[in-house]
Structure 1
Amino acid sequence: METEPVRGAGPVVGADGVARCPWGAGDPVNLAYHDTEWGLRVHGEAAHLERLTLEAFQSGLSWLTILNKREHFRAAFAGFDADAVAAFGPADVERLMADAGIVRNRRKVDAAIANARATVALRDSGGLEAFIWSFRPEPGPAPRTTADVPTTSPESLALSKALKKAGFAHVGPTTMHALMEAIGLVDDHLEGCHRRGVAG
């Protein structure tokens, strides 16, 4: 789950009469992301690298912070073109560390570059998208409240280990579960949320 305002809360009905997961029922940016993107499948290498990178940068921060900086991230990381980011050198790292439009964390910046290089290397074995989707679990029951939404799963742990083995960094099991939620490998929209059932 991207953010969690109240543990154990059920869907929240907004002023528009629509029921949503609690984290998507407040701030307009979160609401738009919840209603139009979270849980929907994405396609292509760049889209998967973007989501993986943003989830890694989010670790320890609010998801709203990342969403508000998303366009800056896209510009700073060459639209998440893996070849371009893989070619980044020390000067690019210093440029990124001076860019107030993104989250300036050297370990995460270094990880983003390492992950682009690992993404390029994965092309020989089917590519990043197929690799991530090979860890898709069987659909589970709809969570009724936020207390029912897991933060990790056996599949996110397995994906984390496999990505680390392939040279990726900042891809822990909690971060990978958030990625799996975001791109529709799992459907963690709550029972009663109007977006329940859109995953995959």
Structure 2
Amino acid sequence: MHIPKGPTAGLELALFEPALQAALQPSPDYDAARWLYVPNTYSEYRYILGTRGKKPLICVGINPSTAAPDALDPTLQSAQRIALANGYDSFLMFNVYAQRATRPDDMEHALNPALHAENRKAFRYLLSLSDQPAVWAAWGNIILKRDYLMDCMQDFAADGKAAGAKWYTAGPLLKSGQPHHPLYLKKDTQLLDFDIDAYLCAQRAK
């Protein structure tokens, strides 16, 4: 379990671009030719964790837990299975907020703008890996835990639109109108088209 040590504003953040360059180099801890892990060491936050391939599925959750290369947690194991079942050769786990917290209730109550800015650079990088990026909305009701999460999502939707991304959900939406979290989905759950703009409009109207 990961319990945050304190607000991320008190951390000296690893900026995304140099952290990415470090992650692209060989690592003594894992196979960097197979894994993309940014930052490439365990810390209080994580921008990206996933596998490398020519046809990746970007999975968007809420915040990281303890997962690392060769040590995926159940949520990421499920995300990987569903990506492969839907014809993708790899998955890239991204989160609306980069702070690690196994229990979403432990996420900080105030947005750290610096962390969000670096996380947004990470999302733009993932979008750049494909001509038409495939993005899986996979956050469940957890996005309602903090008001700032939906504000962050507005930025990521704009970035996706600029990159020509196509959004999906795994199975139909929950009764709450949120997309399913990966954890309890069947491994062969099919991806369905997801209108991110209509979703955000509906959320703003609530």
TM-score by length of 2: 0.25
Greater relative contact order (CA < 8 Å, ≥ 6 in sequence): 1
Where is the helix percentage greater, Structure 1 or Structure 2?
1
Structure holding more strand per residue:
2
Report the TM-score when normalising by structure 1.
0.25
